[in-house]
A and B are shown apart, each in its own frame.
Chain A
Amino acid sequence: MSALLEVRDLVKTFGSGEAATRVLRGLSLTLEAGEMAALLGPSGSGKSTLLTILGTLMKPTSGSYAMLGQDLIAADDKALTTFRNLHIGFVFQFHNLLPDFTALENVIFPTAVRMGRETPAARARGRDLLVRMGLEARINFPSANLSGGQKQRVAVARALMNAPELVLADEPTGNLDRASAMQVMDLIGQINRDEGTTFLISTHDEKIAGLCRRQIVVGDGVVTG
């Protein structure tokens, strides 16, 4: 396996002066291509902050970040937008889907926004992904009417739409019951095995973390285990 991404000495400070909060204090981490890793740590330890930086949605206060050989600290907003679109998928805990669009429309968004329209090829791939997520009966369902577990599976399908190298999932099962959570994790595991997509999944759930081959523990702003 080769390194998919590498962050060195990440520092992230929110605010300034007396109110300044140093969340990341020189965190370094390497993810290999094809890994399936859980991100653990107490609440407030900086898991979401790290995922946001890895997802290029926020820049660290200092430190380096390279993925697929590209320096993502120096890149501008436009370059990062394109990079995210092609190489990074996201699954969030809340607010995942566009409520006024169907499941399929949500899934193909990352491709359609790049192409400027919804192509037949994109629709076909979107359908395939939804079928794989066990949602063939919900393909053209308004996403607002889906259950929590169904929404998260649609979100996973969307994260995979552009076949990115990395999928970042921030407590993807945090809102789900045990059965739905297991179903979502099963699907993630399958994709990881079949396609070699790298997953980094933050969670508070030891059981969920146990399904991942690697556990990364964050504490005091650095990786502790």
Chain B
Amino acid sequence: MLYAFKIAARYLTASKAQTALLVAGVAVGVFIFIFMSALIGGLAEFILSRTVGDISHITIEAENSDPALLIAPVPDGAGHLLFVTERGGARTATLADAPTWVPLIEAVPGVRAVSPQITGAGFVTRGAQVRQVGVTGVEPGRESVILNLDGYMVAGSARLGSGLIVLGRDLADDLDLTLGQTLRLQSTNGVTATLTLSGIFKTGNGAIDGARAFVSLSTARTLFAMPQGVTRIEIKLADLNAADATALRIRALTGLDAVPWTDGAEQLMEALDAQAQTGYFLKTFALITIVIGVASALLLSTYRRRPEIGIMRAMGAGRGFVIFVFVTQGALIGVMGGVTGATLGYLALLPFPARDAFKAGTLPLDITQGSYGLAITLTVIGAILASILPARSAARVDPVTAIGQ
């Protein structure tokens, strides 16, 4: 129906101001749609990266198979309860095969990085000052694959090696430590090492900045008397949302208890869900506005063009032709408004920082989550649906009364 298309296009170009206004109205709706998509998507991204960006997406921990200790309440002054537990054999045994598992896990699709670690607790001593720290032993070269240590360095380097330690700034300040100075680290196993402070980081998270120390995996082996195996394997994924499925795969592959980050994160997921719902709600309203706008404008146009419709019908244009002319107008308005709105949306989002550079205080608008294609498609469909009512009323125009002889 090339000819109906020509007539539709002519009708739109004939009243340029009216068409421009209509297209602008649709474009605003599309703009809002895209802006909301980018904002909701960006916010989710921002919140996720803030909360889980720096943590492991899937974690495998050595299972502690020690029997649970039931300790009866000890009355005050009744003496001390001393107990010694041997490190559970299963704990080391489970992840003793880490060197075998790591390459296997690395080969699982969607896995971006794997970091075998030895974690424990200890005390940092400098002079008379003592601070309790959580110690993480990481393989040199993998310091930044889970927590982006490299990105948080404020002094020195994140690179770990034998005899080196990297501390958070709060802890370093507490102990009056500067780069290159030495300190003593005593593990809960009673092993003491003298280490050189080779890097200071600041993540903004007080628990990490004030109480965490990073050493190389081999240093940790000595500190925790663990000649082989690891206590923990942390896994980073390309897609946060794939954690559940990937954890299942890893579990099936290795038989290890791989725990996705979503375990215990129900509240966060609910909040994100609610946020997404709000987004859908607003986007639906934007679409409804588009539909109402297009429908009313076209209805007005069919009324104004009643005599012409009558003439066309008298000249042998069928009802289908008339319907096609008006639906095509709706579709053209949808395409023009959709593309204009999407372009404006894209241009408006350009100045905002990319998702990796989201900063607190600015809107976390993610230009890659604008849903441009979806916005245009839904707009065109909406505009076509909106034009059906006017088109049908146009097709029902009675030529005799319309020509008004």
Chain A residues engaging chain B, CB cutoff 8 angstroms: 48, 51-52, 55, 57-58, 77-78, 81-82, 84-86, 90, 92-101, 109-110, 112-118, 158, 162, 170
Q: CB distance B312 to A98 under 8 Å?
A: yes
For residue B314, CB closer than 8 A to chain A, the reply is: yes
Name the segment of B258-266, B316-324, B336-344 touching the other chain: B316-324
Chain B binding surface SS class: helix
Q: How many A-B residue pairs have CB under 8 A?
A: 77
Jot down 11 A-B pairs with beta carbons below 8 A, ordered by A.
A57-B400, A81-B317, A81-B318, A84-B316, A95-B403, A97-B311, A98-B308, A98-B312, A109-B312, A116-B1, A118-B6
Q: Are B400 and A113 in contact (CB under 8 A)?
A: no
Bound state CA distance, A112 and B356, in angstroms?
Answer: 57
Do B315 and A90 touch across chains, with their CB atoms under 8 A apart? yes
Q: Are the C-beta atoms of A78 and B318 separated by less than 8 Å?
A: yes
Q: Does A96 contact B311, Cβ atoms closer than 8 Å?
A: yes
Contact B316 A114 (CB under 8 A): yes
A92 to chain B, nearest CB (A): 6
Contact with A52, one of B2, B308, B400 (Cβ below 8 angstroms): B400
Asked if B404 contacts A95 (CB within 8 A), the reply is yes
Which bucket holds chain B's interface residue count?
20 to 34
**Known contacts A95-B403, A100-B10, A113 near B317 by CB under 8 Å:** yes
- What is the CA–CA distance of A96 and B315 in the complex, to the nearest angstrom? 11
Give the chain A neighbours of B316 by CB distance below 8 A.
81-82, 84-86, 110, 113-114, 162
> What is the CA–CA distance of A7 and B349 in the complex, to the nearest angstrom?
70
Q: Which residues does chain A contribute within 8 Å of B307, judged by CB atoms?
A: 95
The answer to whether B312 and A113 touch across the interface, beta carbons within 8 angstroms, is: yes
Besides A98-B312, A109-B312, A115-B3, 14 more A-B contacts (Cβ < 8 Å) are A48-B405, A78-B318, A81-B319, A82-B318, A84-B315, A85-B316, A90-B314, A92-B405, A95-B308, A95-B311, A97-B311, A98-B311, A100-B14, A101-B10
A94 to B1, CA, bound (A): 29
Give B304 Cβ to nearest chain A Cβ, in Å: 11
Least CB distance from B400 to A in Å reads 5
Q: 8 shortest A-B CB distances, which residue pairs?
A: A85-B316, A100-B14, A95-B307, A48-B405, A117-B2, A110-B315, A81-B318, A113-B317
Is A93 a contact of B314 with CB atoms below 8 Å?
A: no
Identity of the chain A residue whose Cβ is nearest the Cβ of B11 in the assembled complex: A100
Q: Are A55 and B318 in contact (CB under 8 A)?
A: no
Contact pick for B315, options A78, A113, A116, CB 8 Å = A113
Smallest CB gap from B316: residue in A? A85
Is B229 engaged at the interface, CB distance under 8 Å to the other chain?
no
A162 and B318 alpha carbons, distance in the complex (Å): 16
Using known A-B contacts A82-B316, A96-B311, determine if residue A112 contacts B405 with beta carbons closer than 8 Å: no
Instruction: Return B207 CB to nearest CB of chain A, in Å.
Output: 71
**Once the chains bind, are A85 and B310 in contact (CB under 8 Å)?**
no
Residue numbers in A under 8 Å from B2 (CB-CB): 116-117
Query: Known interface pairs A81-B316, A85-B316, A113-B312. Does A58 touch B400 (Cβ–Cβ under 8 Å)?
Result: yes
| A2 to B: closest C-beta gap in Å | 25
Choice from B3, B11, B312, B314 contacting A55 with Cβ under 8 Å: B314
Answer yes or no: B112 CB below 8 A from chain A CBs.
Answer: no
A158 to B314, CA, bound (A): 12
Q: Which of A52, A78, A81, A115 has the most CB of B within 10 A?
A: A81
**Nearest chain A CB to B3 CB, angstrom units:** 5
Q: How far is the CB of B299 from chain A (nearest CB, A)?
A: 19
> Is the CB–CB distance between A99 and B315 below 8 Å?
no
Residues of A with C-beta under 8 A to B402: 95
Given contacts A82-B316, A85-B316, contact A113 B3 (CB under 8 A): yes
Q: Is B313 an interface residue (CB 8 A)?
A: yes
Interface centre among B2, B11, B316, B403 (most CB of A within 10 A): B316
Decide if B293 is an interface residue (CB 8 Å cutoff).
no
B3: contacting residue among A51, A77, A92, A118, CB under 8 A: A118
